[in-house]
Amino acid sequence: MTARITLVQGDITDESVDAIVNAANSSLLGGGGVDGAIHRKGGPEILDACRDLRAAKYGRGLPTGQAVATPAGRLDARWVIHTVGPVWSSSADRSELLISCYRESLRVADELGARTVAFPAVSAGIYGWPMDDAARIAIGTVRAADTQVEEARFVLFGAEAFGVFEAELAKSDEG
């Protein structure tokens, strides 16, 4: 099966879905951007679960391109799926790692039985990935994935990012 792709402009922490994907860093201990917003609004249950994951399995950090789930605390979701995007590099092609973030997030969502999943534009903020390329990879990877997730909802912060995703989705609908 493939997921239906939808686009929303707004704050991902306002979404009501089974799982919210977090653009985390490998420490799993929070940060700025989406990560900061998720921990702020979701409350300490998320950080506690992240600490437990570090202690049990990811003492050296969650590797870039992988994904792992915790409860969603006070967010209107059952789970947060934390994935670590690659930092943008103009000299090295790190696309495979960004592709892996979306594939692994969907794999974890399938393991959990999540049917609706909200995604941010992973790596396209603090990690510096150009939005058009981030959107192309995000939409192309999710569209091609074999998954039980019914709706993959990209939640874009601001009109500009929304417009870029909209154009990319229209392109992939044509092709």
Q: Give contact residues for ligand AR6 (rule: CB under 6 A).
A: 11-13, 23-25, 31-35, 37, 85, 120-127, 155, 157, 161
CA 138 vs CA 96, 134, 162: distances in Å: 11, 6, 13
11 or 146: whose CB is closer to ligand AR6? 11
> By CB neighbour count within 10 A (0-12 exposed, 13-18 middle, 19+ buried), where does 146 fall?
exposed
State whether residue 150 is helix, strand or coil: coil
Least spacing, CB of residue 162 vs ligand AR6, in Å: 10
138 or 149: whose CB is closer to ligand AR6? 138
123 or 147: whose CB is closer to ligand AR6? 123
Least spacing, CB of residue 1 vs ligand AR6, in Å: 26
CA 32 vs CA 7, 68, 106, 137: distances in Å: 23, 19, 23, 23
Q: Which of 119, 124, 121, 109 is nearest to 153 (CA)?
A: 119
Among candidate residues 14, 18, 35, 133, the one labeled active-site is 35
Active site includes 133? no
Active site residue ranges: 35
